[in-house]
Amino acid sequence: MKLWKPSHSRIFCLNSALAATLVLLGCGQSGSDPTEPSSGLVTLSAPIADDEGNVTFTEVEGYPKSAMLDPVAEPSGSERQPFVREQDRMNGGPVRTVSAEAVVENPATPESILEEIAQLRATPNDVIRNPIAGKPGQFEEIKLQPNQIDAEQTRRLQKIVELAMEVIGKTFQDQTQEQYFSSAVVYLAETRLQLALKGDESQAALMAEDAEALFKRDESSFAAVESSFKLLQLTGAKAQEHGDEAQWSVAFARQARMFAERFPQETSRVTVGLTKSGQQCDALGLTDEARRCYEILVQRYPEAPFAQVATAALRRFDLVGKPLTNFGGPSPGGGVVQADDLIGKPTLVVFWAGDSQEFAAALPQLRAVTQTVGSDRMNVVAVNMDGNQQSMSQLASSGNAFATHHIFFDAAQLQGARNPFEQFYGLTHVPSMWLVDAQGVVRNVHVDINELGEQLAAVISE
């Protein structure tokens, strides 16, 4: 699957709450190394506030707002009041009125609470079970309407957060219950992730807060690893969802580097995170961020399968300021295009694919710019990346023509992911454009279509 290059790569401004979350995740921080473990990924003074400046937490009966950050003793039975367990009505259990005495005599154990979480997770989202009056232990299943399912799912997720925090509060300081503590942390992190992906913006900051607290508690613990990995998954999912918004891609890259710094033993997760975040930043022209991810991958995990991808991308980044030498390929009608043939005029290299919607959208603008400059003042080399002969023929037709040279690999073993340019230069997204001056020196390996005319004029005027 190709990563398509957007039309521009400037930093976007999101709404205030989400932008604040991104800053907490590491975006916009200048003058500091985001991979430095002693400083931590984020510095939180307060969780994310709503539009009116109010901070919202899910309160747990008898526990502080953040059991992990500030555990306190459970209130005595005399301080508890009878309450109705509304979550049981929502999630398939009986509706029970619990007295203060009953709570003291039969307090919920970490194990029983985790069992309740497991039951909540296993219950179908489109069904609730209501107790039948006068028939203890019997329930009536009610099928929810489609418009009710999402709200029901959100309620269950919020209840799981509450229950997980309750287990954390009970087990935080007891090493003999570390297994229960770790299970609760995993449930909490996974549920916060789901809520964040459903649009609850405050969860991103809370996930970062939890991950930082767990790392400081025990940096080698299972809980610390899993909470940080869920945060990495969140930034990755958001970077993919908002593909043309640079802030999320930067957050993803910085979180991937922090995860690699803190948990180098998690080889598979580290290498995948560094590769994906590097490619995401690369596609947006965020070369510095991509380079940092790729360099860690190559230097610390040279035997990993993705290290070859990173090495190729770094080779491409390093072209800038150097003569273009390792470049060339066969023409569709016979012959070969070589780098030496292009010296004497500025050259625009366009990597394209027929199935790229972004390339199709950019083609009119690309034709207009190149035709304005004229083939007498510049070369345009169109490099096909999908191996589709029909697409190649259509592009070379008079109506779509914009290139002075074409490179097309018709051998099956040199097409798709095995294309030599993808293998050697790590080109995983199209369209992509390089600019080379008349002396054959590479000026830019990530030309923005909206800046093409200006950059061409500058090179031609030299």
Nearest-angstrom CA–CA distance, 98 and 111:
19
Q: Are 441 and 322 in contact (CB under 8 A)?
A: yes
Question: What is the mean predicted confidence (pLDDT) over 358-365?
Answer: 91
Q: Identify the pLDDT of residue 117.
A: 94
Please check whether residue 307 lies inside any domain of the structure: no
pLDDT one-digit tens code per residue, 208-231: 999 999 999 999 999 999 999 999
Q: Are 45 and 36 in contact (CB under 8 A)?
A: no
Please check whether residue 170 lies inside any domain of the structure: yes
Last residue of a domain, one of 147, 174, 200: 200
- Out of 6-10, 151-155, 214-218, pick the least confident: 6-10
Q: Answer yes or no: is pLDDT of 97 > 80.
A: no
Please check whether residue 317 lies inside any domain of the structure: no
Interacting residues of 296 by C-beta distance below 8 A, sequence separation 6+:
35, 257, 260, 274
The CATH number linked to 380 is: 3.40.30.10
Q: Are 284 and 446 in contact (CB under 8 A)?
A: no
- For residues 179 and 7, the model is more confident at 179
CA-based R_g, the chain, Å: 28
Q: Identify the pLDDT of residue 400.
A: 66
Please check whether residue 135 lies inside any domain of the structure: yes
Q: What is the mean pLDDT of the chain?
A: 78
Its domain, for residue 92, covers 49-200
Q: 233 vs 181, 196, 205, 302, CA distance in Å? A: 21, 11, 14, 23
Interacting residues of 62 by C-beta distance below 8 A, sequence separation 6+:
74, 75, 79, 80
Please check whether residue 154 lies inside any domain of the structure: yes
Last residue of a domain, one of 152, 172, 200: 200
pLDDT one-digit tens code per residue, 173-220: 899 999 999 999 999 999 999 999 999 989 999 999 999 999 999 999
User: Looking at the structure, do residues 195 and 333 belong to the same domain, yes or no?
Assistant: no
Question: What is the mean predicted confidence (pLDDT) over 331-340?
Answer: 89
Nearest-angstrom CA–CA distance, 2 and 342:
28
pLDDT one-digit tens code per residue, 368-412: 999 899 989 999 999 999 888 888 888 877 566 789 999 999 888
Burial of 85 by CB count in 10 Å (0-12 exposed, 13-18 middle, 19+ buried)?
Answer: middle
Per the structure block, which two tokens stand in for 297?
A: 């991958």
Burial of 134 by CB count in 10 Å (0-12 exposed, 13-18 middle, 19+ buried)?
Answer: exposed
Please check whether residue 63 lies inside any domain of the structure: yes
Interacting residues of 277 by C-beta distance below 8 A, sequence separation 6+:
236, 239, 249, 252, 253, 255, 256, 257, 289, 293
Please check whether residue 71 lies inside any domain of the structure: yes
Nearest-angstrom CA–CA distance, 214 and 172:
10
Counting the structural domains of the chain, the total is: 2
User: Looking at the structure, do residues 56 and 196 belong to the same domain, yes or no?
Assistant: yes
Q: Answer yes or no: is pLDDT of 54 > 90.
A: no
Last residue of a domain, one of 153, 172, 200: 200
Q: How far apart are the first and last CA of the chain?
A: 39
Q: Identify the pLDDT of residue 114.
A: 95
Q: Identify the pLDDT of residue 304.
A: 93
